[in-house]
Amino acid sequence: MAVATLSTVVLDCPDPVALAGFYAGLLGGEIVESSDSGDRWVDLTGIPGTPLAFQAAPGFVPPVWPAADGSQQLHLDLSVPDLDVAEKQVLALGATVLDAADRERSFRVYADPAGHPICLCRAA
């Protein structure tokens, strides 16, 4: 029997509103700023799957990808019907390329505007 259910994936970042705007452009949904936390917490609601939230983190340092020791950090896998089309869209939203040279592979790796790795994965 499970102890808990996954309710939200929260990404630390320097500007929660700006990062929520990036993901709203990518995934859709509505940006909802928390009334009791000032500008420290923002939810992205109305998207399929597990909700995303964004939390202000003073002194935030973006993850290093790939890590020198080969370790993996948390990253998001996002399914898309067409990698070439999705790549153009995610770059227009402000993502940067981390690893997209292999055009035959079923995924490509980018960083969101705060530096979190995200993978666009060809939908099955």
68 domain-assigned: no
Cβ within 8 Å of residue 4, ≥6 positions away = none
pLDDT digits (tens, 9 = 90+) for 81-124: 999 999 999 999 999 999 999 999 999 999 999 999 999 999 87
Residue 92's domain spans which residues?
A: 76-122
User: Binning pLDDT at 50, 70 and 90, where does residue 6 land?
Assistant: confident
Q: Please state, in angstroms and as integers, the Cα–Cα distance from residue 21 to each residue in 4, 37, 97, following that order.
A: 29, 18, 19
**Domains in the chain: how many in total?**
2
CATH number of the domain bearing residue 94: 3.10.180.10
Are residues 16 and 50 both part of a single domain? yes
pTM value? 0.88
83 domain-assigned: yes
